[in-house]
Copies of this chain bind each other. A is one copy, B any other.
Amino acid sequence: MVQIPKTPDPASSSAPRSVPTSADVARLAGVSRATVSYVLNNTSAVRISEPTRRRVHEAARELGYVPHAAARSLRAGHSRLVLMPAPSFPAGPLYSRFLTELQWALGRLDYTVVQHGTVGLRGDEAARAWAEMRPVAVLVPGFDLGPQGVEVLKRSGARAVVTLGPEAVDGAHALLMDHEAVGHSAARHLYERGRRRIGVLIPAEEGLEVFSAPRLDGARRAVEGTDATVTRVPLAYEERDAARLAARWKSLGLDAVFAYNDEYAMLLMRALQDEGLAIPGDTAVIGADDLMLGRLLRPRLSTVHLELPSGRDLAALVDRAVRDPDAAPERHKVLGAAVVHRESS
């Protein structure tokens, strides 16, 4: 819960003429506050004479009047706010693009999108912080939310809660990002190309387990019941650690590796090549995310291309959910995973 301090220093301002309200506009225009509201909101149920309209607009402009969103939504009993937690890890270009598109699409539907900088708050605490803003909809990527969190949000007026992540949460709509499929495709691909001892690179960095764990699981599942093995290989995103790993690579006895994503793949590939190993000869490498950089490597990096949901579709889902909050939660698989075979595998 956000604490509001008791007016830090009341006497510090050099009389900054206080913020203009609709009452000020009314006074200046010589009309009532009601009229101001009618004019400024183009209320169609009421006809206001042209001269009056002009006077009101003039007054508003002159005062630099800007309506008070909090007051408005308090009165209205609801907002058009769609809230998402701001990502706590560096978002890749994929996700950034998705986010921009989504904001644009929701903007078109007249929603205001806001990313809430939730910091150390976990789980229900975070949900409460979001609920304080009384958003009409909440979009939550990842694992940040449990069923209770959903309940908190709904009880506080959120008409739609949508999770984007590997698992559905009770009571919320779910856009299922099936990261298992990513690992599955990758391992399958390696298997089909004759590899049997498959390593799966797992970032040592915090906060990425949400994605890496299911990718690993998917790889495991892909070779279940075959003669192939899957080995978990942790790697920090830094040269030294990659060099260390490369130095003991032969001892691992792997003939292929799925490298979490293209960036980790690049890091590992370089280290292996520096160590004199041939790619894909000695070790096949495949990444994920289909970033530009993979195309620029030599050998060209095989990768798993991810298809994120379109921002427009998600915006439409949100709008639908807001309009009909009691509809059964929708579940959509939204992560297309397709192997792009290049030269490294």
Contact = CB atoms under 8 A, between A and B. Distances in A.
Interface of A: 1-5, 7-9, 12-14, 16-17, 19-20, 40-41, 64, 66-74, 76, 78-80, 86-91, 93, 96-97, 99-100, 103-104, 106-108, 110, 112-117, 119-120, 128-129, 131-134, 151-152, 154-157, 237-239, 263, 266-267, 270, 292-293, 295-296, 298, 322-326
Nearest to A270: B296
Contacts of A108: 119
Nearest to A127: B66
Given A4-B78, A68-B134, A114-B116, 13 more contacts: A2-B80, A7-B78, A12-B323, A14-B326, A20-B155, A66-B152, A86-B99, A86-B100, A86-B115, A91-B91, A114-B114, A267-B292, A270-B298
Nearest to A295: B239
A107 B3 CA distance: 11
Contacts of A324: 9, 12
A69 B266 contact: no
20 contacts: A2-B110, A3-B80, A14-B326, A19-B155, A19-B157, A64-B155, A66-B152, A69-B70, A69-B134, A70-B70, A89-B96, A90-B93, A91-B91, A104-B120, A108-B119, A239-B292, A263-B292, A266-B296, A270-B296, A293-B293
Copy total for this chain: 2
A269 to B, nearest CB: 8
A337 B64 CA distance: 40
Contact of A72 (B4, B239, B326): B4
A155 B90 CA distance: 35
A25 to B, nearest CB: 13
Contacts of A293: 263, 266, 293
B152 A70 contact: no
Contacts of A20: 155
A66 B112 contact: no
| Most B-side CB within 10 Å, residue of A1, A117, A263 | A117
A345 to B, nearest CB: 19
Nearest to A116: B114
Nearest to A324: B12
A18 to B, nearest CB: 8
Nearest to A97: B90
A77 to B, nearest CB: 8
A323 B157 CA distance: 34
A74 B72 CA distance: 10
Contacts of A40: 1
Contacts of A14: 326
Nearest to A83: B114
